[in-house]
A = this chain, B = another copy of it.
């Protein structure tokens, strides 16, 4: 088996190919990017030479001259939050399949980092996917007006979005708790700038009113495992028998804290998380949580963005996509004490 020619020295350019074939560089360019524009014989000669020289186009140059970078920025607030792992993998796979490069940036939960990153990405990418933006509505809408964008878990007018959300699932979660006899429930809130958290709280109050149970709002808490300690303490102090928690990270932190304090989960306190992240199935006890197809959300976000970039398809661009979620009952919920 003949190994492919190993490129040695400087990578080949279209000029090298042109020289080798005795044609102009522009002909080489056309032979490779718009083959119909070139005679079959010439084209084949050029393609053979390209293979022989192990030619691969210089993406910088391509970007500069064509204006398209074949790169897409993906912004997440915290790269170490397992929630984003699956999202990132989803975007990565889908982008790669479409021939795009993923530029992953951790915005460190900061709106300023997010804004400056967006500004920079405006020139170095064809579009961006922004997960859980910490920007305010105006800034986000303004940014979206200047470059193709799809948000994840953030709904702003005029900006295409993938919502992995749980208003409907919140009903399932609360009904699950109610069916177990809980009548005093706390919502452990996420960051104030998180629209997901606000949306979940809104859904929850709505359902609670319908069902005639009490739900109180505790927090806000940072979406980190460490925050679970304060959240657990607040929950215990509030006297509720069950918590619905903004995300699994905090929920897992609560589990640990409650164990330290000798409060049994689920016997003394039931916990429902959100997202079903890595770890939710093997923590102790395994977490009852609202599962969402996160990786799929990443894929959908990419599809929506690519549809914006290449509006060839007939139909208009889908501007909002809601991912279905469902309750996964594990070991962190049971009957209310005394039931």
Contact A79 B69 (CB under 8 A): no
A283 contacts partner chain B, Cβ-Cβ < 8 Å: yes
Interface centre among A7, A86, A104, A120 (most CB of B within 10 A): A104
- The stretch of A15-23, A54-62, A128-136, A317-325 in contact with B is A54-62
Taking CB atoms and an 8 Å cut-off, the chain A residues in 87-129 that contact chain B are: 88-89, 92-93, 101-106, 119-120, 122-124
Contact B56 A278 (CB under 8 A): no
Q: Which of B80, B122, B278 contacts A80 (CB 8 A)?
A: B278
Interface centre among A60, A64, A79 (most CB of B within 10 A): A60
Contact A61 B59 (CB under 8 A): no
- In the bound complex, how far is the Cα of B86 from the Cα of A281, in angstroms? 21
Taking CB atoms and an 8 Å cut-off, the chain A residues in 31-66 that contact chain B are: 56, 58-61, 63-64
**Chain copies in the assembled complex:** 2
CB distance from A230 to the nearest CB of B (A): 17
- Show the binding face of A for B, using Cβ within 8 Å: 6-7, 11, 56, 58-61, 63-64, 69, 79-80, 82, 85-86, 88-89, 92-93, 101-106, 119-120, 122-124, 142, 146, 252, 255-256, 278-279, 281-285
Contact B104 A252 (CB under 8 A): no
Q: Which of B92, B106, B124 contacts A79 (CB 8 A)?
A: B92
Contact B69 A80 (CB under 8 A): no
Q: Which of B6, B63, B93, B123 contacts A56 (CB 8 A)?
A: B123
- Cβ of A123: which chain B residues have Cβ within 8 Å of it? 11, 56, 58-60
Contact B69 A60 (CB under 8 A): yes
- Cβ of A82: which chain B residues have Cβ within 8 Å of it? 82, 85, 278
- In the bound complex, how far is the Cα of B236 from the Cα of A136, in angstroms? 55
- In the bound complex, how far is the Cα of B86 from the Cα of A284, in angstroms? 23
- In the bound complex, how far is the Cα of B61 from the Cα of A61, in angstroms? 8
- In the bound complex, how far is the Cα of B106 from the Cα of A89, in angstroms? 8
Q: Which of B7, B79, B102, B146 contacts A88 (CB 8 A)?
A: B79
CB distance from A66 to the nearest CB of B (A): 10
Other 19 A-B pairs with CB < 8 A, given A56-B119, A80-B89: A6-B142, A11-B122, A56-B123, A60-B63, A60-B64, A60-B124, A79-B85, A80-B278, A82-B82, A85-B85, A92-B104, A92-B106, A101-B124, A102-B104, A103-B103, A104-B104, A256-B282, A282-B283, A282-B284
